[in-house]
Amino acid sequence: MKILWNNKIVDESEVKIDTEDRGYQFGDGIYEVIRIYDGLLYMEEEHLERFWRCAEKIRLTLPFTKEEFSQRLHQFAEEVGIKNGRLYFQVTHGTSKPRFHAFPEPQKVMPVLTADIQETSRPLEKLSKGIKGGFVPDKRWLHCDIKSISLLGNILALNEAQENGYDDAILVRDGFVTEASSSNLWMVKDGVIYTHPDGELILPGITKIKVRELAKDLGIELVEEPFTKERLADADECFKTSSVAEVMPIISIDGKNIGDGTPGTITKQLQAAYIEAIEKSVKKM
């Protein structure tokens, strides 16, 4: 597999990461996941904007401009040649020796960037049948808006849900539903879509930006306000969104059907509109 490692495109066997890299030791870094459809880095600009915003939040100065990085990613994607996949990249604060907790002074360390592209197909069966969710307490930190590589909170939640026989965790903080373990979460009640507002309790999803636009185009009311797990259990439809999961129906929670236990009408409308939007962007390329 080829890896983009700082400025170079190399074979994975050539990558050397210091054992004192702050990403490795502290989880001190951020990441992005972009879907590639037919060679198109879907919603690249929005992903890069979030990456830069997150870098700022962890006081990390990226050693290139957005334009330079975009060019580098395109060159990398071209060289790898995978037309349908997912691009993962992360940057850490680099190596500071000896190990110390405080952020290093920017001039003393070089951030370390790695990226890879893996072939990915759309999760078609799950998209058509839906998946099962289970409520799990949201015990993550209070900077969930930072796309941090420290994902233990999310992983523990997913693991707990899967141990209980569910596909994904639906996170609940103080009685209110925040998001799923690696996706944003939505419900539909009486024709209105609800989702948690952006802020420090959730990751502001790029797919969420698109779904906002699509709901508007379809004339469906969207309310961004916190809702309780009881309201969700009583919803007509539920779905989650992410660059990888797209618009994924959730048909039951804790073993109880949502609506009639099949993907809902508005969920299916949004799924279709999402694919149409991708196809339009690919044609424009």
Taking the complex as a whole, the smallest distance from the CB of residue 209 to ligand PDD amounts, in Å, to: 8
Greatest pairwise CA separation for the chain in angstroms: 59
- Window 13-72: residues binding ligand PDD (CB under 6 A): 33
| Other beta carbons less than 10 A from residue 240's beta carbon | 26
Element holding 66 (H helix, E strand):
helix 66-80
Catalytically annotated residues: 147
Angstrom distance (rounded) from CA 175 to CA 63: 42
For residue 119, list its beta bridge partners.
Answer: 85
The binder of ligand PDD chosen from 90, 242, 267, 271 (CB under 6 A): 242
Does 243 engage in binding with ligand PDD (CB under 6 A)?
yes
The binder of ligand PDD chosen from 94, 205, 249, 259 (CB under 6 A): 205
By beta-carbon proximity to ligand PDD, the closer residue of 64 and 88 is 88
Instruction: State the binding string over 120-159 for ligand PDD (x if CB under 6 A, else -).
Output: ----------------------------------x-----
Does 90 engage in binding with ligand PDD (CB under 6 A)?
no
The binder of ligand PDD chosen from 116, 138, 179, 237 (CB under 6 A): 179
User: In the 8-state DSSP scheme, what is residue 196?
Assistant: P
Give the HSE-up count for residue 95: Cα atoms under 13 Å, Cβ half-sphere: 8
By beta-carbon proximity to ligand PDD, the closer residue of 183 and 271 is 183
By beta-carbon proximity to ligand PDD, the closer residue of 96 and 184 is 184
191, two tokens? 């024709």
Pair 135, 172: CB distance under 8 Å: yes
The binder of ligand PDD chosen from 244, 268, 275, 281 (CB under 6 A): 244
In sequence order, the 6+-apart residues with CB closer than 8 A to the CB of 172 are: 135, 136, 137, 138, 178, 229
The binder of ligand PDD chosen from 92, 184, 267, 271 (CB under 6 A): 184
Does 203 engage in binding with ligand PDD (CB under 6 A)?
yes
Q: For 240, list phi and psi in degrees, rounded to 5.
A: -125, 160
Does 211 engage in binding with ligand PDD (CB under 6 A)?
no
Angstrom distance (rounded) from CA 104 to CA 26: 13
User: In the 8-state DSSP scheme, what is residue 148?
Assistant: B
Only one of the segments 20-28, 76-84, 131-139, 238-246 lies at the binding site for ligand PDD (rule: CB under 6 A); that segment is: 238-246
Which residues contact ligand PDD by CB under 6 A? 33, 154, 179, 182-184, 203, 205-208, 241-244
